[in-house]
Amino acid sequence: MEKATFGAGCFWGVEAAFQKIKGIKETSVGYMGGTLKNPSYKDVCTDKTGHAEVIQLVYDPSQITYEKLLTVFWETHDPTQINRQGPDVGTQYRSAIFYHSDEQRKTAEKSKEKQQQSGKHQKPIVTEITKAQEFYAAEEYHQKYLQKHGLSSCNI
């Protein structure tokens, strides 16, 4: 099993998108990329911790490739928006790939380049590609939030 970590806006919707994919064994939403240890959702919402809302996946690379996970990542959000996704604004909603190995870093950089050259985006892609740091799981009520509430998207 391997890990992958992505920030693509509100983690509820991102988690819902990845939960449906064969080869994903576990999903967990949380925070990464900031300076505050053990942040709470309230802390992260202050926009002062530096953390992004992220989804951390445990996946079986014999069933799904990291490259395919990146495809889902790009399709799940608008990677040209700086510190926002739709109505959600703040650094916690930034577009980010947190890599867990040098191989993931290289694959992510190639994938970003391919996306930029694809013509799908009118603006430059602003997605950061950063070494994974400590993952702080979000509060239990955030885990599988949409599933728990019988929702299929964040359009609530």
> Looking at the annotation, which residues are catalytic?
10
CATH 3.30.1060.10 fits 2-148, yes or no: yes
What are the boundaries of each domain within the chain?
Answer: 2-148
Length of the chain: 156
pLDDT by position in tens, the chain (length 156): 999 999 999 999 999 999 989 999 999 999 999 999 999 999 999 999 999 999 999 999 999 999 999 999 999 999 999 999 988 999 999 999 999 999 999 999 999 999 999 999 999 999 999 999 999 999 999 999 988 888 877 764
99-105 contacts, C-beta under 8 A, 24 or more apart: 99/129, 99/130, 99/131, 99/132, 100/2, 100/3, 100/4, 100/5, 100/132, 103/66, 104/4, 104/66, 105/129, 105/131
